[in-house]
Chains A and B, each alone.
Chain A
Amino acid sequence: MRDETIRLALPAAGEATERPISIAIVAMGGQGGGVLTDWIVQLAENHGWVAQSTSVPGVAQRTGATIYYIEAMPPLDGRKPILSLMPTPGDVDVVMAAEFMEAGRSILRGLVTPDRTTLIASNHRSFAIGEKIAPGNGIADGGAVTGAIGVAAKTEIIFDLNALAIAHGSVISAAMFGALAAAGVLPFSRDSYLDVIRAVGKGAKASVETFEAAFDRVKTGAADVAAPPQPKQAGNPPSPATPDPDLAALVARLKQELPEPALTMARAGLKKVVDFQDVAYGTEYLDILKTLHMADRNAGGGARAYAFTEAAAKYLANAMTYDDVIRVADLKTRAGRRARIETELEMSGGQLLQTTEFMHPRMEEVMGVLPAGFGRWLGGKPRLLGWLDRRVNRGRRVRTYSLPWFLALYVVGGLRGLRRRSLRHAIETAHRDGWLKAATDAVGTNYQLGVEILQCRRLVKGYSDTHSRGLSKFDKTLAAIKLVERREDAADWARRLREAALKDSAGKELDGVIQTIKTFA
């Protein structure tokens, strides 16, 4: 630009700065963004304004992220304003996000700016496919969105509009309309909003209630509508008159043998282990935990808040409560389970519940329950095994609450007596011991590495193929850790390996890290 132009003192043209009110609705297909758009247009038109809305339907509306855009302005002595067909970054008055990550996306599109934009967003999450398919925890960090909103929005109205809408038997669009009214960006009265909803007729009552609830929520800043209460966990038996004395003894032992930082985890662990098998199994848990804690103390864990013991308390419990047919059958036949489902389905008196389980037992599962010796013998007879597998290995639809099937499950669930002599138990125990040894060996020389090795247990989960894939990842990881155990940064590499293993199911990421390690180890 030639610089004499800068010194020119020409004023900006008159009306130039006066622009229509612009509203962007960012949502996912099927969230009713279209309805909300129509309401806002109707609202503006009812006040004699010229309103224009645009959207880009088609494939985007099949659950993908999509955006609706509205501009509205009063006519000037009979002349219609010329309205734009898409939002301009830095020039949007209101952004309404029907989901929290979509609010984040709108910020990345530059639609939310501090000089202009009121952001109305629901902070509930609807997870994207990428977040759901990770074998580990792929859920995106909502904190980052909150942080960005802080710097981007002029005014922010953030709460769980979805929960509020559901609580009032309606959908999020009604709640957002209410929040918009309360935001007071549009110069229209509360009643004129309600008129628009009422004119629709169908489902108007619920919409109006939701609208009013959202409106008041914004005005008063009242607390969020609590999400539907978590139905109580399955398997909590009615408390008998006197608490189990043996168990009480274990709790006392736990308190005196373990350091404060590990207590919560150890208590949860003990509970899970005893619930899985019996009090004696709980004793075994505490015995092992005690020796691990000893190693922790000798390694100077005191300075590290006994992180090793705490990790041990957590992952030992998970290792000891492996998922075998006995556990599954037991969980499926508990009283609390049916209760939980009935609450989830919000069943009323007149209705009846029946459930069907989709089970596909293989000979492996059956062998797991057999006594170790017999199981191994059978393992050496491939032809017999094949013959048996053909009888067993089949998908079975189990009508849980029909007497015959329930009895079957009930019996299997009651096989705890056999469990500790079973082949599966032998295998699990051997695997467990190897893992704990590796951790204990490490913790003396490299404390953090010991902790990391314990945490690798997280890789072992799932059933059948998924389980064996998890196991092989676990073994790969521990083998790779062996390669670097002498290094200063062994713990970091262990962490990297574990995180990589949790990223994709095929284990490509993991193999990548292992390759890197092999280049220097």
Chain B
Amino acid sequence: MAERSFAREVEDLRLGDGDTFRGEGILAITKALLQSGVAYVGGYQGSPISHLMDVLADAKDVLDDLGVVFQSSANEAAAAAMLSASVMYPLRGAVAWKSTVGTNVASDALANLASGGVTGGTMIIVGEDYGEGSSIMQERTHAFAMKSQMWLLDPRPDHECIVNLIEKGFELSEFSNTPVMLEVRVRACHMHGSFACKDNVKPAHTIKDALNNPKRDVNRIVLPPAAYEHEQEKIKTRMPAAMGFIRDNKLNEWMGPKHGKVGIIMQGGMYNNVIRALQYLGLSDAYGNTQVPLYVMNVTYPVIDTEVAEFCVDKDAVLIVEEGQPEYLEQAINTVLRRRDIQARVHGKDVLPMGGDYTAQVLLGGVREFLEKTEPRLLGNRPPAPDAAPVLNHPAVEKLKQVVPARPPGLCTGCPERPIFAAMKLVEEELGQHHVSADIGCHLFSILPPFNIGATTMGFGLGPASTSAFNVKADKRSIAVMGDGGFWHNGLTSGIGNAVFNKHDGVFVIVDNFYTSATGGQDILSSRAVNKRRDTNNSIVKAVKGIGGQWVRQLDRTYDVGKMRDTLKEALTTKDEGPKVIVASSECMLNKQRRVKPQINKAIKDGVRIVKERFGVDEDVCTGDHACIRLSGCPSLSVKQLDDPLRDDPVAAIDNTCVGCGNCGEVAEAAVLCPSFYRADVIHNPTRWDIFKSRVAMAVIGWLQRRRDRRRPALEALA
């Protein structure tokens, strides 16, 4: 059960001839796969391709009608290995993941796949998480394509173009017996656009056919001497075949005038922003009528030497627009031109930045400098280009720089991971700071304020493994944090198994929130939800014990901060040898609310007795020291200014987005903070007994209150 239902998006997958698809890029890609007659799809979720996995997971009926096998792979390596189904059989298959991180994990399988080559078309859809808003290290997938020799498609950010290139890409893969990668950047994946649909295509050859008629060919297996043959095949057969296909099918595009003194060569993905930059310079209109010749590489590997030569031969200079580093294309194109002794000068990273987003603004600067160096006449009278500098240099705006606070991502309201880190903070106060290895997932937000816990991340599921060096007797023990997602992705073996085998004394906290929450709440082995199409409810604790873990503690309510703290302390101090594994389990609040809220509201409407919990702060008890916030950071726990002349500092306040998770109270209690917090239980549809009890109590209480109030001095005189 993902964060939300994708039922509506699934409907889009049913569209056929004559229909127009309107929606997100990644969903257009999903539809394109079905139009290309894929027999199987796999992958691992992660921005920006999560929705591809989510929609297919909800699209059972559509897939069953077509006879398409869909799998949520255990990790990217598993997904890549899945493609081996296309080695011997004419089956079209596709897998998807976040790149480069996913490609890193998958590259062993990919290298083997690329070496032996494929019979059926195979496509690897990589969500290139590069540039502003990216959550990972800044690298290029391009390198993987080159090292294993897989063709790399980089289509213009336009649904029509992307969909067409996917269909062509499968043909290319089959024609050249080589896996093909489709690179789509974050914004293109989440871009709203449209394209004219075709009917979905049933795979000509199905997985079932393949199973019933097994084939093998030792020459396709990576083992000497075949391995050496594969390399020769790549060079002598597959590469030329691919280049011929790309040329004949015009996968790369020429735009603008046929001839010109200068021209621009670009990755397809850069096209829209290049056009906008040219428009600012008065060299194109909004519809792409450019006065500068453009060569748009929808295929960035291999480079089609004849096309490059043809484009450059009559030009004084060309600009290469290639995002990220190193500048592989610039180098390749230089080689092409030098070998043919074509004199066009090659510009690129000399006028454009080596790294970072190529926004329209960045490209504007680069293209302008390129033209000033090579063909200034094109710049004409230089129409005014947009420029925010005057505003940004204004004193009033300068002043603002000091004022606007950073707003880093954080744990959601009611997140079950918050109390875990609150407990770790409390332990830190008692036993001092420890070396903590963090991992990938929501829990990584612990490295940010207010918790500031966690020293390193070494990749998904590798938090525990990254403490493995700290395996010596010392006054302190290392702590590793890992999510349930990371645990099943590889952490069970690389982390826990590794620690058991090497008798690691450290502490290993497994944060189990029933989903891979950071990627949108997909189910995994240990999800508690019953999922008809998957086998869930497999216990993490059993797995840990099964692999040899002895000291294992299961906490079934992470919100019990006191217990969490004590368990951590025990783990850090116990005499027992070997890894101390703590499995802290509570459901992801985002998903829980989505599930429970409607149920509760319905129950209340139907007159069922329901107790709704919410937390509050007594503002006259709160002294405004904000210690509670420093142990929480919950979005619903904020501050407010009182209109009381005697108060300098704002007091804590809880807004109506509070879901009553209990963290505030638990922390206040465990950390001996202050008595300002209260939990308010509102009983909806109370029973007669409820009402009677409350009436009696309030009668007495009211009397006592009136009695005391009568004795108070009447303060009206001071009002």
Q: Counting CB contacts under 8 A, is A265 at the interface?
A: yes
Residues from chain B with Cβ under 8 Å of A458 in the complex: 648-649
B616 touches A82 (CB 8 A): no
Q: Is the pair B285, A16 in contact by a Cβ cutoff of 8 Å?
A: yes
Chain B proximity of A482: nearest CB distance (Å): 23
* B625 and A355 contacting across the interface, CB-CB below 8 Å: no
B211 at the interface (CB under 8 A from A): no
Q: Which of B186, B283, B685 contacts A350 (CB 8 A)?
A: B685
* Cβ-closest chain B residue relative to A80: B287
Q: Contacts A127-B639, A347-B682, A352-B694 known; A133 to B450 CB distance under 8 Å?
A: yes
Chain A residues near B677: list those with CB within 8 A: 357-358
Q: Quick check: B639 and A132 within 8 Å, CB to CB?
A: yes
Q: Are A29 and B645 in contact (CB under 8 A)?
A: no
A275 to B714, CA, bound (A): 9
Cα separation A73 to B272 with both chains bound (whole Å)? 14
CA distance A401 to B693 in the complex (A): 10
Provide the residues of chain A in CB contact with B637, threshold 8 Å: 132
Cross-chain contact of A341 among B192, B410, B412, B616 (Cβ < 8 A): B616
Q: Tell me whether B596 is interfacial, beta carbon within 8 Å.
A: no
Within 8 A of B (CB), among A260-299: 264-265, 267-272, 274-275, 278-279
Chain B residues 678 to 719 lying within 8 A of chain A, measured CB to CB, are: 678-686, 690-691, 694, 696-698, 700-702, 704-706, 708-710, 712-719
Known A82-B287, A86-B357, A272-B646; judge A63-B409 contact (CB<8 A): yes
Closest B residue to A101 by beta carbon equals B404
A235 close to B620 (CB less than 8 A): yes
A401 to chain B, nearest CB (A): 6
A63-B409, A274-B715 are contacts. A355–B685 as well, Cβ < 8 Å? no
Report the minimum CB–CB distance from A75 to chain B (whole Å). 8
Asked whether, in the complex, the Cβ of B391 is within 8 Å of the Cβ of A112, the reply is yes
Contact with B along A188-217 (1 / 0, CB 8 A): 000000000000000000000000000000
* Complex CA–CA separation, A243 to B713 (angstroms): 8
Instruction: Evaluate contact between A414 and B380: CB separation under 8 angstroms.
Output: no
Residues A141 and B403 in contact in the complex (CB < 8 Å), given A58-B133, A85-B273: yes
Check B646 against A406 for contact (C-beta < 8 Å). no
Q: A380 at the A/B interface (Cβ < 8 Å)?
A: no
Chain B 102-144 interface 0/1 with A at a Cβ cutoff of 8 Å (1 = within) = 0000000000000000000000000001001111000000000
Chain B: minimal CB distance from A477 (Å): 15
Closest to B380 in A: A10
Which of A147-155, A177-185, A368-376, A508-516 is near enough to bind chain B?
A147-155
CB distance B286 to A19 under 8 Å? yes
Complex CA–CA separation, A396 to B405 (angstroms): 38
State whether the Cβ of B399 lies closer than 8 Å to any Cβ in chain A.
yes
**What residues of chain B lie closer than 8 Å to A274, measured between beta carbons?**
713, 715, 718
- Minimum CB–CB distance from B512 to chain A (whole Å) comes to 19
Q: Are A461 and B404 in contact (CB under 8 A)?
A: no
A89, A328, A337, A362: which contacts B386 (Cβ < 8 A)? A89
Scan B611-630; emit 1 where CB is below 8 A from any A CB, else 0.
Answer: 00010101011011111011
Q: Which residues of A contact B22 (CB under 8 A)?
A: 45
Q: Mark B382-402, 1 if CB is under 8 A from A, else 0.
A: 010011110110101101111
Is B353 interfacial (CB 8 A cutoff)? no
**Which of B87-95, B475-483, B666-674 has 4 or more CB atoms under 8 Å from chain A?**
B666-674
Closest-by-CB residue of A relative to B160 is A80
A244 contacts the other chain (CB 8 A):
yes
The digit string for A102-130, where 1 denotes a CB below 8 A from any CB of B, is: 10110110111110100000000011111
**Would you call A150 and B623 a contact (CB within 8 A)?**
no
Does the CB pair B672–A90 fall under 8 Å?
no
Residue on B nearest A5 in the bound complex, by CB: B376
Say yes or no: is B548 at the interface (Cβ < 8 Å to chain A).
no
Output the least CB separation between A153 and chain B (Å).
10
Say whether, besides A12-B282, A335-B705, A108 and B397 are in contact (CB < 8 Å).
yes
The residue that A14 contacts in the complex, of B280, B285, B357, B401, with Cβ under 8 A, is: B285
Complex contacts, B445 vs chain A, CB 8 Å: 62
Q: Which residues of B contact A59 (CB under 8 A)?
A: 47, 135, 409, 518
B702 contacts which chain A residues (CB < 8 A)? 335
Q: Given contacts A112-B391, A145-B400, is CB(A128)–CB(B282) below 8 Å?
A: no
Which chain B residue has the least Cβ–Cβ distance from A282? B713
Q: Which of B132, B192, B629 contacts A53 (CB 8 A)?
A: B192
CA distance A269 to B394 in the complex (A): 44
The residue that A355 contacts in the complex, of B404, B410, B680, B715, with Cβ under 8 A, is B680
CB closest chain-B residue, reference A100: B404
Closest-CB distance, B372 to chain A (whole angstroms): 5
Given contacts A144-B400, A234-B620, A237-B710, contact A12 B380 (CB under 8 A): yes
B442 at the interface (CB under 8 A from A): yes
* Proximity bits, B590-624, A CB within 8 Å = 1, else 0: 00000000000000000000000010101011011
Q: Is B715 a contact partner of A275 (Cβ separation < 8 A)?
A: yes
Kindly state whether residue B493 has any CB partner on chain A within 8 Å: no
- Segment at the B interface, from A300-308, A435-443, A464-472: A464-472
A/B pair count, beta carbons within 8 Å: 451
Our pick among B625, B645, B719 for the contact of A264 (Cβ within 8 Å) is B645
A391 contacts the other chain (CB 8 A): no
**C-alpha gap A134/B412 in the complex (Å):** 21
Residues of A contacting B638 in the complex (Cβ-Cβ under 8 angstroms): 126-127, 132
Closest B residue to A462 by beta carbon equals B625
Residues in B with CB closer than 8 Å to A80 are 287
A contact residues around B47 at 8 Å (CB): 57-59
Which residue on chain B has the smallest CB distance to residue A67? B133
B288 within 8 Å of A (CB atoms)? yes
Q: Does A414 contact B708, Cβ atoms closer than 8 Å?
A: yes
Question: Contact: A54 with B682, CB < 8 Å?
Answer: no
| B618 vs chain A, min Cβ distance (A) | 6
Does A238 sit at the interface, judged by CB under 8 A? yes
Q: Which of A247, A402, A470 contacts B718 (CB 8 A)?
A: A247
Measured in the bound complex, the distance between the Cα atoms of B668 and A30 in whole Å is 27
Chain A residue with the shortest CB-CB distance to B518:
A59
Instruction: Tell me, rounded to whole Å, the shortest Cβ–Cβ distance linking A399 to chain B.
Output: 9
B289 part of interface (Cβ distance < 8 Å): yes
Residue of A nearest to B607 (CB): A350
The answer to whether A229 has its CB under 8 Å from any CB of chain B is: no
A268 CB → nearest B CB, Å: 5
Measured CB to CB, the nearest residue on chain A to B696 is A403
Q: Within 8 Å of chain B (Cβ to Cβ): is A334?
A: yes
Cα distance A283–B132 in the bound complex, in angstroms: 63
Q: Which of B392, B442, B626, B700 contacts A62 (CB 8 A)?
A: B442
Does B675 reach chain A (CB closer than 8 Å)?
yes
Closest approach, in angstroms, between the C-beta of A200 and any C-beta of chain B? 12
Q: B698, A401: Cβ atoms under 8 Å?
A: yes
Q: Which of A12, A30, A251 contacts B383 (CB 8 A)?
A: A12
Partner of A352 from the list B133, B280, B683 (CB cut-off 8 Å) is B683
> In whole angstroms, how far apart are the Cα atoms of A503 and B323 in the complex?
42
Of A116, A135, A314, A331, which one neighbours B621 at CB under 8 angstroms?
A: A331
Known contacts A16-B284, A463-B674; A131 and B400 CB within 8 A of each other: no
Closest CB in chain B relative to A349 CB, distance in Å: 11
Question: How far is it, in angstroms, between the C-alpha of A13 and the C-alpha of B394 when the chains are bound?
Answer: 32
Bound-state Cα–Cα, A104 to B633, Å? 22
Measured in the bound complex, the distance between the Cα atoms of B718 and A165 in whole Å is 38
Please tell me if the beta carbons of A466 and B674 are within 8 angstroms of each other in the complex.
Answer: yes
Are A129 and B408 neighbours in the complex by a CB distance under 8 Å? yes
Nearest CB of B to A5, in Å: 4
Closest 8 A/B residue pairs (Cβ): A110-B388, A56-B133, A15-B285, A90-B386, A58-B47, A64-B409, A10-B380, A12-B282
Q: Beyond the given A127-B639, A360-B672, please list 19 additional residue pairs across the A-B interface where CB-CB is below 8 A.
A: A8-B377, A58-B129, A85-B273, A88-B361, A130-B406, A131-B405, A134-B626, A152-B394, A234-B620, A237-B710, A265-B645, A268-B644, A278-B713, A351-B682, A354-B681, A354-B694, A356-B665, A357-B678, A407-B704
17 contacts between A and B (CB under 8 A): A8-B377, A11-B381, A15-B287, A30-B412, A89-B392, A144-B402, A237-B715, A247-B714, A345-B614, A345-B682, A351-B686, A353-B681, A401-B698, A407-B704, A410-B708, A463-B675, A466-B674
